[in-house]
Structure 1
Amino acid sequence: MSLTFNVTERPDRASDADRSAVLANPGFGNHFTDHMALATWTKDDGWHDAKVAAYGPIAISPAAAVLHYAQEIFEGMKAYRHADGSVWTFRPEANAARFARSATRLALPVLPEDDFIESLRALVKLDQDWVPEAADGSEASLYLRPFMFASEAFLGVRPANEVTYCVIASPAGAYFSGGVKPVSLWISTDYARAGEGGTGAAKCGGNYASSLAGQMEGLAAGCDQAVFLDSSTHTYIEELGGMNLFFVYKDGRIVTPELTGTILEGVTRSSILEIAKELGLHPEERRIPIQEWKDAAASGEIVEIFACGTAAVVTPVGELKWDGGSVDHRRDGHDDEIALKIRKTLLDIQYGRTEDKHGWMTRLA
């Protein structure tokens, strides 16, 4: 039986003036809407007590399993306002499927796809005034964060018998406030994001926590982010701390590291593999040695590199640095034509500025 999210509106919603002030300069992840969606799962009763209630602190026991054993997962997606005022989201069924895969890997209960999407719809419908206008090519949106965690109070290593599911929403401005700019990357050789047989293919907090030391190392070296290699041989490219990578070769191939179980399958990544064909490119998924990146960028065989993810959509990559060297494929005058074309194609679909031939958009309000 599908869940019904019972709605209780808070009496102290943000005023129009306060909300407008936030939407004028929301940043990313700094402000939150008036409400949140919640549901509970127990071993005996399954999913129940679905509701939309006032946004606020969640009371959990100091013995809650998530605080001790990190049994939790999350998703990230956006709601977009179209020109007619309606609000849509991009490929929520793909996020629901990944959420289910993550739940299985972390020994959490699977939330059915219909309930996942209905939780988004129930929250956005109530808080739709928080979805920014996207006039004149703006990239403002409402970021949606569904998450699930082990809320049972117990100390012991076993799957929790009580789990809490929640969705919160945060208005977000354009990721690149001053226009899209190439990022520089540092090769992390001392740290790995995930290991074989681990949780690399799941979207869980531990993967992001494990990437932070490498990210800090990259920042100390003057780079924007770090790129992680496979943990076994430190030979093959995997991903950034939270983004997948693509390489465009001068013969028309567009290559991304294949999914080996240690790489998160991004929704943006899978969408780009489809869009690339329509742009006359030849998508390829395979293991890519880091040495190939160095050599092909230096020789001009690689003409573009970009990262992709929900927040930034598509981010061009410039310089690659490592202990003792660096290479920048853009030094020979290569621009980011393909990356920017793919980026525009995705954004035009998401904001309803072009026909959604793939059926990727779902209306929420």
Structure 2
Amino acid sequence: MRPSTRRPVPPASPASTPTNCTGCSIRASTPTLTCGPSAPRTRRPDDHRTRPRRRRPRPHRAPALPAPLRRAPHRALHDVSLTIPTGQVAALVGSNGAGKTTLLRTLAGAIGPTAGTVTVLGSPMGGPEDSLPAGVSVVPDASYYPDCWSADDMVLMLRRMERTVNARGIGRRLRRAGIDAGTPIKSLSAGQRTRLMLAVGLGTAPSLLMLDEPFARLDPLAREDVLDELRRHQAAGEDRTILLSTHELGSLERFVDHVVLLHDGSVLLDEDLADAAERHLVATVPRDPASRHEPTAPMDLLTGARRAGDVTEGLVDTEDALFLPKDSDLRRATIQDVLTFTLREAAR
């Protein structure tokens, strides 16, 4: 029997037949080994239709308080010394850049003072490393939270911070504002965001509530609603203090008890609102026709004096008004008069 001249057929190579195993897949068309619970289909690198798209990493935005203390070479606050009375509503007022927001952020512990000490409810605040004391709540001008968060997310975060939160109270405030608790921040208007932040800020029933420009983005009706919310909050406890910054003190005279006037990082006025208005008069002093210039001594008694035609108008202390010319016109000053003339004097 002649031996066969046919060559033996070699056994099938493992690479010529697909072999599947748990957690990986090997295919004959490519030497690539892909591991995973479900291996994706191999794509040709030159096929643009099957090339995977690169996703840009989404930036992480933490709920922090971005607040630099100073912009070199300008110092935001200097020689600031004040005490906010317990159980009162105090207003921080001043022109843009006066230091109102920086002062609030310093009190909140977002930034630390370069000198001196800051004490909030008996707890020293040295900077971001110090946690906000229990009983203190901050309602910022801009949201601290990612714009995809809702009120429900904020309540959850506060609970994880071991804060006592009245979720039902937050829900009632949101319903009065017409806001759903599950609506993300990015879907709300500027005024609704303010109402949302206020509702969450009041949800912890704080002893000290700090607000940065709470009325800036509100229409007149919403402004009255917010004032009612703040009145209800303060009426619920005698020791509840509110500190807010505003440009509209004239419309808040019936709500504010104490005023702090800032200018260029310094305190110009720090006293009871009623006392500041009662001890001042607005004087209109006519120029003496027989003289080319106004009398020097009476004009020195005026704060923020302004020349308008043949008269000079300024703020005068009630005790100093006796030394003005007899034909001077005097009227009782409003708190807005006190602030305006005091700022005008400081700007000289």
The TM-score by the shorter chain falls in which range? under 0.3
Normalized per residue, the structure richer in strand is 1
Q: TM-score, normalised by structure 1?
A: 0.21
Q: Which has the larger radius of gyration?
A: 2
